[in-house]
Amino acid sequence: MAALGSPLRTLRGLLRELRHAGGRAGRPYRDTPAYQHVIAAFRANRVTSEQLCRAQQELHFQAATYLCLLRSVREHEALHQEYHGRGERSPEEVAGLVGFRLPQQPGGKG
Partner 1 sequence: ERKRFYQNVSISQGEGGFEINLDHRKLKTPQAKLFTVPSEALAIAVATEWDSQKDTIKFYTMHLTTLCNTALDNPTQRSKMQLIRAAVKFLETDTVCYRVEEPPALAELQKNEWDPIVAWAEERYNVAIGSSTSILGPNIPASTKDTFVSHLASYNMWALQGIEYIITQLKSLILSMGVIDRHITVEKAVLLSRLEEEYQIQRWGNVEWAHDYDLCELRARAAAGTLFVHLCSESSTVKHKLLQD
Q: For residue 36, which phi and psi values (nearest 5 degrees)?
A: -60, -45
Q: For residue 108, which phi and psi values (nearest 5 degrees)?
A: 85, 180
**Cβ atoms within 10 Å, residue 7:** 17
Asked if residue 32 binds partner 1 (CB under 8 A), the reply is: yes
Asked if residue 3 binds partner 1 (CB under 8 A), the reply is: yes
List 7, 15, 22, 95, residue binding partner 1 (CB under 8 A): 22
DSSP H helix total and E strand total for the chain = 4, 0
User: Which residues lie closer than 8 Å to 97 by C-beta, 6 or more apart?
Assistant: 89
Asked if residue 7 binds partner 1 (CB under 8 A), the reply is: no
List 9, 12, 28, 73, residue binding partner 1 (CB under 8 A): 73
Asked if residue 11 binds partner 1 (CB under 8 A), the reply is: no
User: Site residues (CB under 8 A) for partner 1?
Assistant: 1-4, 18, 21-22, 24, 27, 32-34, 37, 44, 47-49, 55, 57-58, 61-62, 64-66, 68-69, 72-73, 75-77, 79-80, 82-84
